[in-house]
């Protein structure tokens, strides 16, 4: 790489304080690493929290600014001497966190729960993908099939989140599923549930336009939509959901991709005896939870965190084979220099997925 190569990056110094700076170009010190040139970075809810508050639980500061971004795609720029799976010019989606590979969690096969995980744009130390160049292990890059564009590839991260949640939900052929929230992850959960064989997938949201899109995205073979009535209790809304969508004694599986307290409660009340609940959305840190129903109905409740072994692979295969069609999900693309506008757009809840281009030069 030429010695005057620069690495323009978008760093967050605190709430509403983003600065564009040149950071050092990453250097290939581990032979298994690659450097990629970032093509697109998607904006997600957590980016908006970072933009507004400077972090979530852990925070950036004037002394410790951090490059933002974690949902990214790019082109391989350079590969370490031990890398045989990728060559410069390959187009990839990236899994933006890599574990230590040595601890008990890693050895047990659940590497995404590794306490030493180095996840992009996670304070205080790990820089994100909103830069020209980005370094990571080759095994966390997923080569794209011809049918997936670099902009669509930035959606593989939220898709992997959905694949992970649906795997934990243990959907079987014919399962009746409710997904709360019809933003990107909720939409993907609904579509992946369909691919896992669900016979009914009801998407629930409080915004009419999100439900209209969900209906189209999930398709009329299994997809249904419902808007909760804010004047009713979660118990009443659950009863209505089950009746209107003929879910019998209740849904087999309920997934919350909204993080809203009322959704979590409605989800539990809408399940049949012995049903399964999966929490994938992040909202308020503590909520009131229908614990008696959990017990009396012997409901299985599971938390779903990011993604793990095989989740990116499966997501990419589902899209690559045309089983999940991404058209309409990307609603706006901002140039690198307008990253803060992209966060503002996401904050206002406009469209579905906003992308930020990598620096052009
Ligand atoms: Zn995200
Ligand atoms: Zn580990």
Per-residue pLDDT of the chain (361 residues; tens, 9 = 90+): 444 579 999 999 999 999 999 999 999 999 999 999 999 999 998 999 999 999 988 999 999 999 999 999 999 999 999 999 999 999 999 999 999 999 999 999 999 999 999 999 998 889 999 999 999 999 999 999 999 999 999 999 999 999 999 999 999 999 999 999 999 999 999 999 999 999 999 999 999 999 999 999 999 999 999 999 999 999 999 999 999 999 999 999 999 999 999 999 999 999 999 999 999 988 889 999 999 999 999 999 999 999 999 999 999 999 999 999 999 999 999 999 999 999 999 999 888 999 999 999 8
CA distances from 293 to 131, 242, 301 (A): 48, 16, 11
Residue 312 confidence (pLDDT): 98
Per-residue pLDDT, 142: 98
Q: Which residues, in sequence order, are bridge partners of residue 226?
A: 204
Cα 132 to middle of ligand 2, angstroms: 28
Q: Helix, strand, or coil here: 207?
A: coil
Residue 79 CA, ligand 2 centroid: distance in Å: 24
Would you give the DSSP letter of residue 57? Answer: S
Centre of ligand 1 from the C-alpha of residue 44, in Å = 5
- Report the CATH fold assignment for 159-303: Rossmann fold (3.40.50)
Residues, the chain: 361
Output the CA 142–ligand 2 centroid distance in Å.
21
92 alpha carbon – ligand 1 mean position (Å): 17
For residue 55, the CA-to-ligand 1 centroid distance in Å is 13
Quick one: which ligand is closest to 114's CA?
Answer: 2
SS3 content of the chain, % helix, strand, coil (to 5): 30, 30, 40
Q: Which listed ligand is nearest to 96 at the C-alpha?
A: 1
Distances, alpha carbon 113 to alpha carbons 59, 71, 96, 117, 305, in Å: 21, 19, 14, 8, 8
Ligand nearest to the CA of 107: 2
What DSSP string describes 316-329?
HHHHHTTSS--TTT
Rounded Cα gap, residues 158 and 192, in angstroms: 12
- Ordered by start, the domain boundaries in the chain are 7-155+326-357, 159-303
Integer Cα distance of 351 and 63 in angstroms: 35
Whose atoms come closest to the Cα of 42: which ligand?
Answer: 1
**What is the Å distance from ligand 1's center to 271 Cα?**
28
DSSP class of 155: T
Q: Which ligand is nearest the CA of 280, by number?
A: 1
Nearest ligand to the CA atom of 112: 2
The CATH code of domain 7-155+326-357 reads 3.90.180.10
Q: Which ligand is nearest to the CA of 162?
A: 1
Tokens read off for 107: 């050895």
pLDDT at 3: 47
Please compute, for residue 267, the number of CA atoms within 13 A of its CA located in the half-sphere on the CB side. 32
What stretches of the chain adopt beta strand conformation (E)? 7-14, 17-23, 33-42, 55-56, 58-59, 66-67, 71-79, 91-94, 97-98, 118-119, 133-137, 141-143, 176-180, 200-204, 223-226, 251-256, 271-279, 300-303, 330-334, 353-357
Ligand sitting nearest the alpha carbon of 99: 2
């Amino acid at each position: 790489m030429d010695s005057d190569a620069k690495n323009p990056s978008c760093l967050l110094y605190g709430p509403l304080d983003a600065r564009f700076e040149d950071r050092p170009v990453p250097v290939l010190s581990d032979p298994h690493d690659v450097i990629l040139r970032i093509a697109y970075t998607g904006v997600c809810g957590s980016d908006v929290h970072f933009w507004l508050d400077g972090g979530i639980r852990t925070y950036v500061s004037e002394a410790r600014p951090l490059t933002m971004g974690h949902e990214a795609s790019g082109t391989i720029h350079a590969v370490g001497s031990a890398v045989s799976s990728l060559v410069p010019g390959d187009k990839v989606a990236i899994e933006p966190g890599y574990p230590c590979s040595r601890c008990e969690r890693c050895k047990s096969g659940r590497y995404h729960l590794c306490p030493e995980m180095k996840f992009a744009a996670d304070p205080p130390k790990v820089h994100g993908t909103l830069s020209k160049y980005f370094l990571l292990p080759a095994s966390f890059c997923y080569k794209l099939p011809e049918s997936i564009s670099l902009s669509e590839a930035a959606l593989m991260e939220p898709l992997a989140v959905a694949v992970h949640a649906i795997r934990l939900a243990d959907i079987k052929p014919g399962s009746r599923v409710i997904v709360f929230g019809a933003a990107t992850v909720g939409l993907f959960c609904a579509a992946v549930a369909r691919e896992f064989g669900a016979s009914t997938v009801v998407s629930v949201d409080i915004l009419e336009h999100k439900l209209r899109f969900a209906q189209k995205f999930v398709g009329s073979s299994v997809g249904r939509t419902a808007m909760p009535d804010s004047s009713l209790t979660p118990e009443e809304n659950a009863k209505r959901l089950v009746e209107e969508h003929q879910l019998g004694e209740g849904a087999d599986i309920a997934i919350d991709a909204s993080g809203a307290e009322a959704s979590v409660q409605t989800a539990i009340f809408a399940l049949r005896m012995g049903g399964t609940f999966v929490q994938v959305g992040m909202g308020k840190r503590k909520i009131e939870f229908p614990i008696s129903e959990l017990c009396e109905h012997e409901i299985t409740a599971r938390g779903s965190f990011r993604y793990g072994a095989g989740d990116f692979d499966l997501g990419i295969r589902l899209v690559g084979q045309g089983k999940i069609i991404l058209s309409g999900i990307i609603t706006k693309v901002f140039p690198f220099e307008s990253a803060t506008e992209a966060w503002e757009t996401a904050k206002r809840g406009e469209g579905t997925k906003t992308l930020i281009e990598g620096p052009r030069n």
